[in-house]
Chain A
Amino acid sequence: MPKDHGIGASPKRREDVRFLSGTGNYTDDINVNGQAYVHFLRSDVAHGRIKTINTDAASAMPGVLKIFTGADFEGVGGIPCGWQVTDRHGEPMQEPAHPVLAQGKVRYVGDQIAAVVAETVEQARDAAEAIEVDLEELPAVVDMKAALADGATKVHDDLTSNLCYDWGFVEENKPAVDAAFEAAAHVTTLELRNNRLVANPMEPRVAIGDFNRGTGDSTLYTTSQNPHVIRLLMGAFVLGIPEHKLRVVAPDVGGGFGTKIFHYAEEAFCTFAAKALNRAVKWTSTRSEAFISDAHGRDHVTKIELALDADNNFTAIRTDTHANMGAYLSTFAPSVPTWLHGTLMAGNYKTPLIYVNVKAVFTNTVPVDAYRGAGRPEATYQLERVIDKAARELGVDPIALRRQNFITEFPYATPVAVEYDTGDYHGTMDALEKIADFSGFEARRKDSEARGKLRGLGVNCYIEACGIAPSNLVGQLGARAGLYESATVRVNATGGLVVMTGSHSHGQGHETSFPQVIAEMIGIDESMVEIEHGDTDKAPMGMGTYGSRSLAVGGSAMVRATEKIIAKTKKIAAHLLEAAEADIELKDGTFSVAGTDKSVAWGDVTLAAYVPHNYPLEDIEPGLEETAFYDPANFTYPSGAYACEVEVDPETGKVTIEAFSAADDFGNVVNPMIVDGQVHGGIGQGIGQALLENAAYDENGQLLSASYMDYAMPRASDVPYYNVDHSSQTPCTHNPLGVKGCGEAGAIGSPPAVVNAVVDALQSGGHKVDHVDMPVSPSRVWAAMNA
């Protein structure tokens, strides 16, 4: 019988009512009295030297308040990078300056040259067209390998080259890895590209800066996954505003997927300009602007090699990746191809020796940073593709080859510096076999063939590291921030609770799932709990929501704060019941004395805390509010096994997804409905990456797929219903809820399943195709079949 209450139940989402009735409060829905509007003049060339900017005519146009250029920001800090990677020689990465508005050069199509602030957005846009920019166009660097060639044009004149870093992991293991390849019975090699993507949350970014001259306080309303992080980065590094004079509000946010983690120049501009002009300044991105200003994702070019012994045991993995950074370092960009990628290269397998080399490269393209999964999809894709290729070369069943090499004992220390606390990879594969009906596949293939189609089945596993992350560990790895989370739990006099969390919900449903945890702990109804998030004036501090960390880290902070509340209420109850504190039990919202019929209700205890007439004032303070910061002891390690069935039309090369099944182990599950939804969405994005999406640049650095006319977003007709299962549950051993995180799994686990299935389909038709790069478009499939 499913639960209807607390942990494990699926109550309907409370946030839905406002979203379904048009009463949400997204950033663009906010208007501040007297606000002006900004339009950014963006570079239409990928690389150029700014000789002069003449704003005279534009400044005289109707409604224009001021036109800002790089000169106005010379005394202002640059956009900071939050992670410093150390290269294989022990040297820090090359880190270029990242100005709010271009200083001297533009480095990608979309780079901000000037900002026009006017009374209306139309006036600002019209005036921007009248700005005269004398710009000397320079050769653009687009291809990563060409960017590293001798004599290549440099994106940043003051750096020694376009190489951000050359990272080796684990460098000391390289000789042993190389020796294992020498000794291998079989080596499988695969070269592939993890295609560049645009995150495309449906809500474009928005920023509104406001300034109150009377108090000297600045406020920024922004579409962010982590408003406290923006407050810290922008306040401390860019504008020099201390936290107590800067409020950052991220209200209802329409999806993030990573690209709303980062601190963007537009946020700093609006906050700066509001003070300079003593007017609120609003910017709303168009979708076309989003394509050339939101940080992109992925864009790795990789060669992976897998060594096996004569019994098909994996003995070593060696990978060589070029990772595109774009023109500047976005907030977490350096960490994505390194610590979020190299550390996952063991996957679900007990490969004893692994070496990962990553060269991060500057190019004249939009900055690249975390997108749903961030490094882990890139690791999973190459590993699960090379295993599939190895199985085909060796003539063994790809599932059996995986099972043979599964890690089965936990905790397990990988050769890439992480320790998996728990998992059951045979368990998730067993679950997958049940829901994906492998036994019926041959009949389905025959049916497809009877209709002139090729059918393929692709299977893969994944593991990811979530719950990011232990602060002392990430500090050693170069993070310039801690990655704890905080929560304040305020209990009101009549017993209702408000949780102020540093996690941020932009679709994940925290307002529904977080109260389920409190309801379970206290034994009260979820309706007595309200979740506040997205405002730096409310929660004490917050590192925000990304890396599937909300429940594992933010939820744990909430649990710890609630435990403090419960401890205090037990003291109050003991006083009221004239009993020993140790004898007080809390169940179903009632405190009782063990072994007696004496009890007092939750609401009477909370009332006593605020009306302390009969209260142990000598021992405890009145009031009932507690804060906790939770810093995780380890990452969490969700895992799973995914299967995709495709049909390929041999006449056109068109691939259709006929079935998709996902068996995940997320540890304990608080709200199964929300977890299923997260997996569905991740799979949808993964299928999008595998079949449709590609941020394509031409050799001049022009983004060819820069609108929904050209960038193929997955539509409802591109995907099937999904079979999802999370019955295999090995709870996380080191957080109080035993949860692992589910936000990214679908996007990590699904692309290799799709491509494995396409290769399987093509080979079933007699085509000697062992790889097709994503997106597996009809033209690529057709070309592969007809090569």
Chain B
Amino acid sequence: MSHVSMTVNGKQMSGDAEGRTLLSQFLRETLGLTGTHVGCDTSQCGACVVHVDGVAVKSCTMLAMEADGADISTIEGQAAEDGTLNALQQAFQDHHGLQCGFCTPGMIMSAADLLKNNPTPTEAEVRHHLEGNICRCTGYHNIVKAIMAASGQDVSSIAAE
């Protein structure tokens, strides 16, 4: 066991981790931040995407010890203090970009990373960026539409959500 400390959503947090403890597991079980989800064990599904020092990372691909001292951002830190959803979260609600909600935290964190680096992506760029995020409910239509809308692009010509 090692003691691991990190900044999570602006707060200093710490706990004990085995050498094999994944960051996803540490966030969920040690820090109690269950918004980050685990949908697979081969780093394919993307439900566990968080930001580590500003970069989108599948938190199941990283050991908790590797994140010692890092600045982590998770789904729990995306809304404002008073609970107001950020623009990307709000676009997902406005355009019905989620159904069961399980892939949603990873989708939001992954899409936020895209929009940070490419503020007005094309539809093809959005779809390509989501290659590592699997959704089984939506057929992706409204997820892509929500991300396009969050980027400020006109989505009114796309079939209704």
B residues with CB within 8 A of A: 18, 20, 28, 33-42, 44-45, 47, 74-76, 78-79, 83, 85, 89, 92-94, 96, 98-105, 108, 123-124, 126-128, 130-131, 133-145, 158-161
Closest 9 CB pairs of A and B: A22-B35, A684-B139, A19-B101, A254-B102, A507-B100, A708-B44, A507-B99, A22-B75, A287-B40
Q: Chain A residues near B133: list those with CB within 8 A.
A: 716
Among A346-404, those with CB < 8 Å from B are: none
A708 touches B40 (CB 8 A): yes
B37 touches A20 (CB 8 A): no
A680 touches B141 (CB 8 A): yes
- Chain-B contact segment, one of A60-68, A148-156, A327-335, A720-728: A720-728
B41 touches A680 (CB 8 A): no
Of all chain A residues, the one with the shortest Cβ separation from B128 is A717
- Give Cα A20 to B94, complex, Å: 12
Tell me if A782 is interfacial: C-beta within 8 Å of chain B. no
Given contacts A23-B35, A122-B20, contact A202 B103 (CB under 8 A): yes
Q: Known pairs A22-B76, A22-B105. 12 more at Cβ < 8 A?
A: A19-B104, A20-B101, A23-B76, A203-B100, A253-B100, A287-B41, A674-B96, A677-B161, A681-B138, A684-B139, A716-B128, A717-B131
- Give Cα A203 to B108, complex, Å: 17
Tell me if A257 is interfacial: C-beta within 8 Å of chain B. yes
Name A680's contact: one of B35, B79, B123, B138 (CB within 8 Å): B138
Q: Chain B residues near A707: list those with CB within 8 A.
A: 40-42, 44
A255 touches B136 (CB 8 A): yes
A residues with CB within 8 A of B: 12-13, 15-24, 26, 28-29, 122, 200-204, 252-255, 257, 286-288, 506-509, 672-674, 676-677, 680-685, 687, 707-709, 713-717, 719, 721-724, 746
State how many angstroms separate the Cβ of A495 from the closest Cβ of chain B: 26
- Give Cα A20 to B105, complex, Å: 7
Given contacts A23-B35, A202-B102, contact A721 B141 (CB under 8 A): yes
Name B139's contact: one of A12, A29, A204, A682 (CB within 8 Å): A682
Interface centre among A288, A687, A707, A708 (most CB of B within 10 A): A708
Some 17 contacts from A to B, beta carbons below 8 A apart, are A19-B101, A20-B92, A20-B108, A21-B83, A21-B85, A22-B78, A287-B42, A672-B160, A673-B160, A673-B161, A681-B139, A707-B40, A714-B140, A715-B127, A715-B131, A716-B140, A722-B159
Q: Chain A residues near B94: list those with CB within 8 A.
A: 12
A255 touches B137 (CB 8 A): yes
Name B96's contact: one of A203, A673, A684 (CB within 8 Å): A673
Q: Chain A residues near B93: list those with CB within 8 A.
A: 12-13, 16-17, 20
Q: Chain B residues near A716: list those with CB within 8 A.
A: 126-128, 130-131, 133, 135, 140, 143-144
State how many angstroms separate the Cβ of A587 from the closest Cβ of chain B: 30
- Give Cα A18 to B131, complex, Å: 25
Q: Chain A residues near B76: list those with CB within 8 A.
A: 21-23
B100 touches A717 (CB 8 A): no
A17 touches B85 (CB 8 A): yes
- Give Cα A484 to B1, complex, Å: 53
B130 touches A19 (CB 8 A): no
Q: Chain A residues near B92: list those with CB within 8 A.
A: 16, 20
Q: Chain B residues near A286: list those with CB within 8 A.
A: 40-41
Interface centre among A16, A22, A254, A673 (most CB of B within 10 A): A22
Given contacts A21-B78, A26-B37, A204-B39, contact A15 B101 (CB under 8 A): yes
- Give Cα A676 to B161, complex, Å: 6
Q: Chain A residues near B135: list those with CB within 8 A.
A: 202, 716
- Give Cα A286 to B42, complex, Å: 10
B41 touches A288 (CB 8 A): yes
- Give Cα A15 to B105, complex, Å: 14
B41 touches A713 (CB 8 A): no
Q: Chain A residues near B143: list those with CB within 8 A.
A: 716
Of all chain A residues, the one with the shortest Cβ separation from B20 is A122
B158 touches A721 (CB 8 A): yes
- Give Cα A719 to B134, complex, Å: 12
B39 touches A287 (CB 8 A): yes
B78 touches A255 (CB 8 A): no
Q: Chain B residues near A288: list those with CB within 8 A.
A: 41-42
A29 touches B79 (CB 8 A): no
Chain B at the A interface: mostly helix, strand, loop or mixed? loop
B45 touches A19 (CB 8 A): no
Q: Chain A residues near B142: list those with CB within 8 A.
A: 677, 680
A685 touches B34 (CB 8 A): no
A719 touches B35 (CB 8 A): no
- Give Cα A17 to B40, complex, Å: 24
Name B137's contact: one of A507, A672, A722 (CB within 8 Å): A507
State how many angstroms separate the Cβ of A258 from the closest Cβ of chain B: 12
B44 touches A709 (CB 8 A): yes
State how many angstroms separate the Cβ of B103 from the closest Cβ of chain A: 5
Q: Chain B residues near A257: list those with CB within 8 A.
A: 136
Given contacts A673-B161, A707-B40, contact A20 B131 (CB under 8 A): no
Interface centre among B28, B85, B93, B130 (most CB of A within 10 A): B93
Interface centre among B36, B42, B83 (most CB of A within 10 A): B42
B98 touches A20 (CB 8 A): yes
Given contacts A676-B161, A682-B139, contact A26 B89 (CB under 8 A): no
Given contacts A672-B160, A681-B139, A722-B159, contact A16 B100 (CB under 8 A): no
- Give Cα A119 to B135, complex, Å: 33
A723 touches B159 (CB 8 A): yes
- Give Cα A512 to B36, complex, Å: 24
Q: Chain B residues near A708: list those with CB within 8 A.
A: 40, 42, 44-45, 134
State how many angstroms separate the Cβ of A33 from the closest Cβ of chain B: 14
Q: Chain A residues near B33: list those with CB within 8 A.
A: 22
Q: Chain B residues near A684: list those with CB within 8 A.
A: 136, 138-141
A201 touches B136 (CB 8 A): yes
State how many angstroms separate the Cβ of B139 from the closest Cβ of chain A: 3
- Give Cα A13 to B79, complex, Å: 17
- Give Cα A356 to B41, complex, Å: 42
Of all chain A residues, the one with the shortest Cβ separation from B131 is A715
B139 touches A722 (CB 8 A): yes
A203 touches B79 (CB 8 A): no
Given contacts A253-B100, A677-B99, contact A721 B134 (CB under 8 A): no
Q: Chain B residues near A26: list those with CB within 8 A.
A: 34, 37, 102
A203 touches B39 (CB 8 A): yes
Q: Chain A residues near B102: list those with CB within 8 A.
A: 26, 201-203, 254-255
State how many angstroms separate the Cβ of B47 from the closest Cβ of chain A: 6
A202 touches B89 (CB 8 A): no
State how many angstroms separate the Cβ of B89 from the closest Cβ of chain A: 4
- Give Cα A691 to B42, complex, Å: 22
Given contacts A202-B134, A685-B136, contact A676 B96 (CB under 8 A): yes
B41 touches A20 (CB 8 A): no
Q: Chain B residues near A709: list those with CB within 8 A.
A: 42, 44
State how many angstroms separate the Cβ of B30 from the closest Cβ of chain A: 12
Q: Chain B residues near A673: list those with CB within 8 A.
A: 96, 160-161
Q: Chain A residues near B160: list those with CB within 8 A.
A: 672-673, 676, 724
- Give Cα A280 to B146, complex, Å: 41
A20 touches B104 (CB 8 A): yes
- Give Cα A672 to B159, complex, Å: 12
Q: Chain B residues near A714: list those with CB within 8 A.
A: 139-140
- Give Cα A669 to B99, complex, Å: 18
Interface centre among A287, A508, A676, A716 (most CB of B within 10 A): A716
B141 touches A722 (CB 8 A): yes
B101 touches A254 (CB 8 A): yes
- Give Cα A709 to B132, complex, Å: 12
Given contacts A202-B103, A677-B99, contact A721 B85 (CB under 8 A): no
Name B101's contact: one of A507, A687, A721, A724 (CB within 8 Å): A507
Given contacts A20-B92, A21-B78, A202-B47, contact A506 B100 (CB under 8 A): yes
State how many angstroms separate the Cβ of A617 from the closest Cβ of chain B: 44
A713 touches B104 (CB 8 A): no
State how many angstroms separate the Cβ of A76 from the closest Cβ of chain B: 30
Q: Chain B residues near A687: list those with CB within 8 A.
A: 139
